[in-house]
Amino acid sequence: MSMHYLTAVVSLILVVAILLIRLASKWGNGRPCKARLLPPGSRGLPLLGETLEFFTAAPTLELLPFLKRRLDRYGPIFVTSLVGEEMIVSLDPAFSARVLQQEERAFQIWYPSSFMRVFGADNIINALGPLHRHIRSLVLRLFGPESLRRALLHDVQSAARDELQSWLHRRQGVEVRAATSRMIFSVTAKKLISHDDAASGGSMWKCFDACTRGLLAFPLCVPGTAFYKCMQGRKNVMRTLKQQLDERRNAAVAIRETVDFFDLVIDEMDRPDSELNENIALDLLFLLLFASHETTSMGLTAILKFLSDNPKALQELTEEHEGYTIPEGSKIMICPSAAHLNTEGTPEPVGGSKDFMAFGGGLRLCVGADFAKLQMATFLHCLVIKYRWEAISGGRMVYYPGLRFPDGFHIRLLVKD
């Protein structure tokens, strides 16, 4: 199993959820009713629609049973009704790619209102046109290739080394998802808002962890539900961010230096004719703090689980990472066609093909894709060259409807002989 396959499996979980919610479009607007040929499907119960079935946990990593049943019955494009919204669902890669490519032309981004409540109405994921492009370019000043090379690679690598070193002392084992999530969060929280979460007992990470658990849960906001805890998490984080914003803006310009991403956003806001306002800035920081650790840690956990189950893949990965050193200045002739032609057995999916959409596509191509890959690769590098591990317990994966590890995944880390 190649890394591409692993990444694709992990990311599919996200993509499925995202495709579902992206497909509210201008479809058929203005066409006379008679000419409409809507996709087949069912809308379920009044109000509830087919929501309960959608939110049922799935015990395997195959296509969500909710989707599989409809695929068999109606084909890859069908209608349904979820959390009070009628929508068209696409399981057709070519059509899904077209929707992504046609954003702001034939289609316009839309998310369910529960997402907007969690991420805020002024968020980048809801922004359009020049404002959207402006915010993306701002984010890329931190997560783009130049900054990754200049600043983040070093921080990510030392965080991975320190983290793995600390696992060695945990005789009772480590729950990988939470541990990698905290590790990545501590790197990004420092870069984004100069926040040292370990110093405050991990309290901000806990708020985001509640958001992770509640984001794809049934959006019922009453005390005790996962969605309620998620909203409480947002409230606490937003309060801290607002406080920091006020403090920074009130500091005399002469003493305030631009040290982190928050300062950069404030500088941008304070420029004459700036399109950014306080709400946009706060929602952006909230989303980045969330997005920069949540999916990557879930991905890393799934990779470690797959590697635990596939010694051959682990062996290949280790060899790749322990491989030759290429001296600076070497000339390298690359043969990209070998990847396509040299396929023993079944061909594997190749990242970068138009059907590979783990990081979205078109205008919405994940702005943190490079950073996420850097995180995973660096962590795995530090892991496999120096350590081995034993799976202790957990590792069961379910869709709920996003990927979950209900029992966590506990391992014991050992230094290689």
Note the residues at the interface with ligand HEM (CB under 6 A): 11, 14-15, 18, 22, 124-125, 136, 139, 143, 287-288, 291-292, 295-296, 299, 358-360, 364, 366-368, 371-372
Rank residues 139 and 217 by Cβ distance to ligand HEM and give the closer one. 139
What does the alpha-carbon distance between residue 281 and residue 283 come to, in Å, rounded to a whole number? 6
Q: How far is the CB of 333 from ligand HEM (least distance, A)?
A: 31
Q: How far is the CB of 144 from ligand HEM (least distance, A)?
A: 10
Rank residues 43 and 141 by Cβ distance to ligand HEM and give the closer one. 141
Rank residues 41 and 299 by Cβ distance to ligand HEM and give the closer one. 299
Rank residues 11 and 51 by Cβ distance to ligand HEM and give the closer one. 11
Q: How far is the CB of 38 from ligand HEM (least distance, A)?
A: 24
Under a CB-based contact definition with an 8 Å cutoff, are residues 296 and 376 in contact?
A: yes
Q: Which helix (H) or strand (E) holds 242?
A: helix 226-250
Q: How far is the CB of 12 from ligand HEM (least distance, A)?
A: 9
Q: How far is the CB of 152 from ligand HEM (least distance, A)?
A: 10
Rank residues 168 and 377 by Cβ distance to ligand HEM and give the closer one. 377
Question: In the block, which residue shows the tokens 């926040």?
Answer: 195
Task: Say if residue 112 is preceded by a cis peptide, omega within 30 of 0.
Answer: no
Q: How far is the CB of 399 from ligand HEM (least distance, A)?
A: 15
Rank residues 227 and 359 by Cβ distance to ligand HEM and give the closer one. 359
Q: How far is the CB of 329 from ligand HEM (least distance, A)?
A: 32
Rank residues 313 and 358 by Cβ distance to ligand HEM and give the closer one. 358
Pairing of strands 398-399, 387-394: unpaired
Which ranges in 23-175 belong to alpha helices (H)? Answer: 51-54, 65-74, 93-101, 113-119, 129-143, 145-147, 153-167
The DSSP secondary-structure symbol of 64 reads -
Q: Give the closest residue to 4 by CA, choosing from 323, 313, 399, 311.
A: 313
Under a CB-based contact definition with an 8 Å cutoff, are residues 71 and 89 in contact?
A: no
DSSP helix, strand, coil percent of the chain (3-state; round to 5) = 55, 10, 35
What does the alpha-carbon distance between residue 100 and residue 119 come to, in Å, rounded to a whole number? 21
Query: Which residue's Cβ has the minimum distance to ligand HEM?
Result: 368
Please give the order of strands across the beta sheet that includes 387-394.
Answer: 174-175, 409-415, 387-394
Rank residues 18 and 230 by Cβ distance to ligand HEM and give the closer one. 18
CB atoms near residue 384 (< 10 Å) = 20
Under a CB-based contact definition with an 8 Å cutoff, are residues 64 and 16 in contact?
A: yes
Number of H helices, E strands in the chain: 16, 7
Rank residues 17 and 174 by Cβ distance to ligand HEM and give the closer one. 17
What does the alpha-carbon distance between residue 154 and residue 158 come to, in Å, rounded to a whole number? 6
Rank residues 16 and 173 by Cβ distance to ligand HEM and give the closer one. 16
What does the alpha-carbon distance between residue 282 and residue 287 come to, in Å, rounded to a whole number? 9
Q: How far is the CB of 248 from ligand HEM (least distance, A)?
A: 21
What does the alpha-carbon distance between residue 377 and residue 3 come to, in Å, rounded to a whole number? 10
Q: How far is the CB of 138 from ligand HEM (least distance, A)?
A: 10
Q: How far is the CB of 313 from ligand HEM (least distance, A)?
A: 18
What does the alpha-carbon distance between residue 143 and residue 376 come to, in Å, rounded to a whole number? 15
